[in-house]
Structure 1
């Protein structure tokens, strides 16, 4: 007999989700949905990719009855993957930005391609495409939910999603740091300028105030990001 799972309920619920990160549940990713269920803010039938088996898994853990998928969250269907029409693709990168698991590769103004093995079928790349060149193609006809998706695939998708989230956060922090350094350098250059007229001094003071305010906002953002990291540890 295996020992009882003593982890937080949200962690246990997250393990039971298919990790498609599709947002159909009404939350921005699988983890927030798991947290909402754990806190009683969401029902356990809001994940169409998990299908009826997914609802049953969540119900067992929560001690609740098995109920149908809420139609407001979508329908249970065979698992699809995205397919890009390479003749129509203009290389705008919007689909790459929308993909929650980095399953689309390409570069600006270059053709994009979906790595089929990594695609979770979330549909999030379809709407942003300005030339409507992305189609969702069924790859598990007759199989839905966990019959069409393995635990190994779910674990891999979660890992890619978490890595992408960390990467985007790091890129944002690096960009904020660059902007702060640029603002500080500009402020120093203004301070090193030769004597100015009263009108020029007034304008310079206004610009300094704007730059200093921007630097302070960047500092507060950095502090908040550090506090958030500590809170998650």
Structure 2
């Protein structure tokens, strides 16, 4: 019994040492700019940007395949901070606002396709029953609206409040 325990401990120690050495030898440095942009994003990993989480969005922003405004939960403040950090300017027409889903009662047939596709479990309802959306949990990812066969779900801009209002830039006089 003691021999088996000692031999297993020796084997596991040897394999652990080999894995540790291999991880040091084959270590690959990541792009530090991607890590910096990812730290600026809100870390919601909601998928509203169309990328797999905030890490995917950060990679796309850094390589230029996505605009800094691709993150609706981050809003204007995050988009401007990312643009400033990367040294790019935002286009004048790029105005993003957070959205939430709204289910129109008279069109909802209770098919539950929206519930199955909601990544944040913000929709409450059952089969052949009216569904509702919890505004606090909705991330505005639009996945439910895309899957709704009757078009009962529409995406509405969040009303401005103290939590999502951004002061516009002052007009420049010539």
TM-score, with structure 1 as normaliser: 0.46
C-alpha displacement of 1:112: 1.8
Q: For the residues of structure 2 that align with 1:139 and 1:111, how far apart are their CA atoms? A: 23
C-alpha displacement of 1:51: 4.4
Q: Specify which of 92, 99, 117 is matched with residue 111 of structure 2.
A: 92
C-alpha displacement of 1:28: 4.1
Q: Does residue 45 of the first structure (1) align with residue 68 of the second (2)?
A: yes
Residue equivalent to 1:147 = 165
Q: 1:133 to 1:51 in 2, by over 3 A?
A: same
Q: Specify which of 39, 47, 61 is matched with residue 21 of structure 1.
A: 47
Kept in 2: contact 1:126–1:132 (CA 8 A): yes
Q: Does residue 68 of the first structure (1) align with residue 124 of the second (2)?
A: no
Residue equivalent to 2:127 = 108
Q: Runs of 4+ in structure 1 displaced over 4 angstroms? A: none
Report the secondary structure of 2:57's partner residue: helix
Q: Does residue 56 of the first structure (1) align with residue 55 of the second (2)?
A: no
Q: For the residues of structure 2 that align with 1:60 and 1:16, how far apart are their CA atoms? A: 12
Kept in 2: contact 1:89–1:133 (CA 8 A): yes
Count residues in correspondence: 133
TM-score, with structure 2 as normaliser: 0.58
Report the secondary structure of 1:54's partner residue: helix
Query: As a proportion of its length, which structure holds more helix?
Result: 1
Kept in 2: contact 1:78–1:143 (CA 8 A): no
Residue equivalent to 2:9 = none
Deviations 1:132-151 (A, max 9, x none): 1112233324889x537xxx
Kept in 1: contact 2:110–2:129 (CA 8 A): yes
Q: For the residues of structure 2 that align with 1:76 and 1:99, how far apart are their CA atoms? A: 25
Q: 1:43 to 1:136 in 2, by over 3 A?
A: closer
Residue equivalent to 1:34 = 58
Unpaired segments ≥5 residues, structure 1: 1-6, 149-233
Q: For the residues of structure 1 that align with 2:156 and 2:150, how far apart are their CA atoms? A: 18
Q: For the residues of structure 1 that align with 2:82 and 2:60, how far apart are their CA atoms? A: 13
